[in-house]
Chains A and B, each alone.
Chain A
Amino acid sequence: AQSVAQPEDQVNVAEGNPLTVKCTYSVSGNPYLFWYVQYPNRGLQFLLKYITGDNLVKGSYGFEAEFNKSQTSFHLKKPSALVSDSALYFCAVSLLTGGGNKLTFGTGTQLKVEL
């Protein structure tokens, strides 16, 4: 079974400061890892993914994430936060099998960026 943990329900950061949203995972095999963002009453928007290759993945809107196999982590980062980054962020993991690309999501982290 695969699982994802997002240990922080909410992260508060001042605009212009760096932000980190934490994610750890548990999976048997090589994981595919994803970050999605959800704005109020909207669907999920893809930010970035790790499939293979470089451990540092760059995505949309200046976000990046670092895959750390030894710590089974995939933390989301941004060097300088914007108020418009305030949203709900989900980490997800999947194993590509014959049964398709089923995602297991974390419970989400609410990011609040304040002036």
Chain B
Amino acid sequence: NAGVMQNPRHLVRRRGQEARLRCSPMKGHSHVYWYRQLPEEGLKFMVYLQKENIIDESGMPKERFSAEFPKEGPSILRIQQVVRGDSAAYFCASSPQDGYGYTFGSGTRLTVV
């Protein structure tokens, strides 16, 4: 079992470009969570998805950010028109069902220049 796979590990974007972050959950896991870690801060919840459904997006910025978890393929966190303040580590976690604890991926470190 390969664990939660995130790619790319590092992503550099210029201001105004789009960033697409991918997360493949562990085999058999149907719940995906995205968190953001700003420098010198803890992780902040962004969004919780199940296959083809957004369950809780209360932590997502209202503009420019979107997430999906299609029936086939990885979960995607998409950031449009990136700004310097989007620079952070973005972590994905998956679980088999509610309450069974998470497995985190190694994260994608986004740098906006």
Residues of chain B contacted by A100 (CB below 8 angstroms): 31, 33, 48, 55-56, 98
Say yes or no: B102 contacts A46, CB within 8 Å.
yes
* Interface size, chain B (Cβ < 8 Å): 26
Which A residues are CB-close (under 8 A) to B4? 43
Is B63's beta carbon under 8 Å from chain A? no
30 pairs from A and B in contact (CB 8 Å cutoff) = A41-B109, A42-B106, A43-B4, A43-B91, A43-B104, A43-B105, A44-B43, A44-B91, A44-B104, A46-B104, A96-B98, A99-B48, A99-B56, A100-B55, A101-B31, A101-B95, A101-B98, A101-B99, A101-B100, A102-B33, A102-B48, A102-B56, A103-B33, A103-B35, A103-B45, A103-B102, A105-B42, A105-B44, A106-B42, A108-B42
